[in-house]
Amino acid sequence: MQQPIVIRLLTDMEGIITAVREEKQLVDGVNLYTIQYKSGSFQVKALLAIHSNSESDALGEQTKSPAILYCRGGYKKVGQVNPLRISQMAAFGYTVLAPHYRGNQGGTGKDEFGGDDMEDVHVAYELLHEMSWVDDSRIHLYGFSRGGMMALRAAMIPDRYASVVVWSGVSDMYLTYEERKDLRPLLVKLVGEPDQESEGYDIRSPINYTEDISCPVLIIHGTEDENVGIEHAVRLANELKNRDKTYELWLAEGATHLFDSPYMEQYTIKMFSWLDMQEFRMNS
């Protein structure tokens, strides 16, 4: 039996991708894979969701597709990549690559909550860049919760991304330390106390470096978010405005950290319309 074209192509990316496994399809028209890739000296697992139209594009016969680099939230088993969510996103005609980060899902190394594990995001971009069916001028970043911090930092590299979406995202790690007393033991373990390890908190606080963000930013946040307070979104928007950056702030009235189904569907559809608009502006 012939291998699916994507598995053959990914297997051909020697030296970076070290394993590919096809997963159960969760959304019609979207194929799902687990891949393993090298990030420095570590092996990192990721989920890859590909719209079936994009798979035929792998033959080079059709127009290339856009892509999303999905930065997960949480830590270890909390906030894991949701296969259904990324499959639903890919159904909009995208290729979606979602690293689990090092030290998760059988990968080697240690998840540092925005430390050296940022390299896992940078290498994931290189993978998307090398996928023959992906239009590398239409690669977007998406960050949820802790992943918002990761995505914003990745967006500081110029000439890579078409846009960045920050959904319920962290923008200031000092603020996270203040508002999440339940997370303080973990933050102290991974980063240290803010007054003793300010450098670690500084690099994990992209709000301090908005001048370097090189693409349009969409901020989506629930007004009743108790995990990542709305102040993260408001402060980020203010900093972007002060730096004369292109951004939009969408506040979902009454929504919590995870959004319920009607809000999730509504804002996901709006988000993809916004992504399309960024591509239109790029090409106009």
- 67 and 123 both lie in a single domain: yes
pLDDT of residue 233: 98
Residues 210, 245 share a domain: yes
Where in the sequence numbering do the catalytic residues fall?
145, 257
What's the token pair of residue 58?
């792998």
The answer on 121 and 191 residing in a single domain is no
pLDDT at 62: 61
Q: Which of 27-31, 132-136, 252-256 has the lowest mean pLDDT?
A: 132-136
Residues 125 and 187 in one domain: no
- Same structural domain, 156 and 282: yes
| Alpha-carbon torsion, ordered 125, 130, 131, 132, to 10 deg | 140
189 and 57 in a common domain: no
Among 51-60, 229-238, 261-270, the minimum mean pLDDT is found in: 51-60
- Given this model, what pLDDT does residue 184 score? 96
Range of the domain at 177: 145-284
pLDDT band, very low/low/confident/very high, at 268 (cuts 50, 70, 90): very high
Q: Does 206 lie in the same domain as 176?
A: yes
Mutual orientation of helices 146-154 and 118-130 as an angle, nearest 10°? 60
pLDDT for residue 2: 44
Structure tokens at 123: 């290498």
Contact 35, 45 (CB under 8 A): yes
Task: Identify the weakest region by mean pLDDT among 130-134, 165-169, 259-263, 276-280.
Answer: 276-280
3-class SS of residue 30: strand
Residues 49 and 23 in one domain: yes
The phi and psi torsions of 24 (rounded to 5 degrees) equal -65, 135
**Dist. CA 72–CA 47, nearest whole Å:** 11
Q: pLDDT tens digit string along 205-234?
A: 999 999 999 899 999 999 999 999 999 999
Do 88 and 175 share a domain, yes or no? no
Question: Are 32 and 84 in a shared domain?
Answer: yes
**Domain count within the chain:** 2
pTM over 0.85: yes
Residues 121 and 179 in one domain: no
pLDDT band at 15 (very low <50, low <70, confident <90, very high): confident
- CATH number of the domain encompassing residue 166: 3.40.50.1820
> For residue 1, what pLDDT band results from cuts at 50, 70 and 90?
very low
Same domain? For 8 and 129 the reply is: yes
DSSP string, 132-152: TTEEEEEEEEEEETHHHHHHH
